[in-house]
Structure 1
Amino acid sequence: MSILKDYAAYAEHSGSKLKPLTKTMFYCNVFFRLSSVLYKVRLVPVARIFWLLNRILFSIDIDPRARLRGGMVILHGAGVVIGRFVTAEGNFKIYQGATLGGNNGKKRTVNGQTFSQPYLQNNVTIGINAAVLGPVILENGSSVGANAVVTKDVPAGAVVVSNNVILAQKSAVEV
């Protein structure tokens, strides 16, 4: 169950098994997971209530149709936006003001899977006010720095430090 993955991710981040219960952003995850389940069982009006509660209480907009399968950790989450076609297969951390989504109608097929918004693999970090837009893949262990805008794939373990510029060891490489 995804909420258990969220709990485990928060516990790992905080270093305590009980601390997630004291984190307000964990309850944002709970509202998102409830909204998502209610949407899947076609109780859309009730799902929208939990979505709206997230918007009002936490200033976070996570569409209930987003497929966030791993553990999600939201840190200082005000202003976070996650679109309806975003997919996350593993754990990820996202900081305040970050946006995942937007595609202007672009679609992409990789290994028989079609997607139109970001696809996150495992252990991805999205920094403060970063924007990851369109059908891009953030591979295992990649990070997006503060204020970066990503419109192209990010390889495993890479760090994006500005608009599609990847910091590769000690030099910057344009992708």
Structure 2
Amino acid sequence: MTSARQEFRAMWAADRRANAAYPKSRVVLRWFRAAQRWRATSGPLGRLMFLAVGGSYKVVTEGFMGIELPVSTTVGPGLRLRHGVGLVVNPASRIGAGVMLRHGVTLGNRRAADDCPVIEDGVELGVGVVVIGAVTVGAGARIGPNAVVHRDVPAGAVVLSPESVVRS
């Protein structure tokens, strides 16, 4: 069984490699992973550290940077953030490994609080993409800029905007 610290290090290493040319993304994701690590650590020290790290992460990223990526969101290793501004992710969304999120992306619920998207491994989401509701975007899919996705996308598919045309 891996500890929260080991998991943090593995996730952060993958994020660091995926964002080698993007220093802002590296800072945001290191902070995100550190907050996740302290959230997973039990005991008074874990709670205190989460309050400090998670609180400062939330204030700075949401308040000043316009990046709403909650610490409670399940995110696989190697997340690639491109610019990040205007990013809104519902905490109940699930994001796989090696996913790219560009600025203006929204992953949100449709009817209930947990009615959120599942983004599988290797998916690329273009600028301004909105994925809404309990949909699955299959592994390796590419979603074009400003597309609105409200139904499942098969693995490897390309979704074009503005009318969400799906090509398999």
1:57 deviates by: 4.0
Mapped to 1, the partners of 2:62 and 2:37 lie a distance apart of 18
- Aligned residue in 2 for 1:28: 28
1:101 deviates by: 2.1
The alignment-based identity, stated in percent, is 25
Contact 1:31 1:54 in 2 (8 A): no
1:9 aligns with 2:8: no
Q: Which amino acid aligns with 1:101?
A: G
- Aligned residue in 1 for 2:6: none
Q: CA RMSD in A?
A: 1.9
Contact 1:148 1:160 in 2 (8 A): yes
Identify the match of residue 59 of structure 2 among 52, 57, 74: 52
Structure 2 unaligned segments of length 5 or more: list them.
1-9
Q: How many residues align?
A: 151
**Structure 1 stretches of 4+ moved >6 Å:** none
- Aligned residue in 1 for 2:150: 151
SS at match of 1:31: helix
Say which structure is richer in strand. 1
TM-score (norm. length: structure 2):
0.80
TM-score (norm. length: structure 1):
0.77
Mapped to 1, the partners of 2:69 and 2:57 lie a distance apart of 10
Mapped to 2, the partners of 1:9 and 1:93 lie a distance apart of 9
1:161 deviates by: 1.0
1:106–1:167 CA distance, 2 compared to 1 (3 A): farther
- Aligned residue in 2 for 1:132: 131
Say which structure is richer in helix. 2
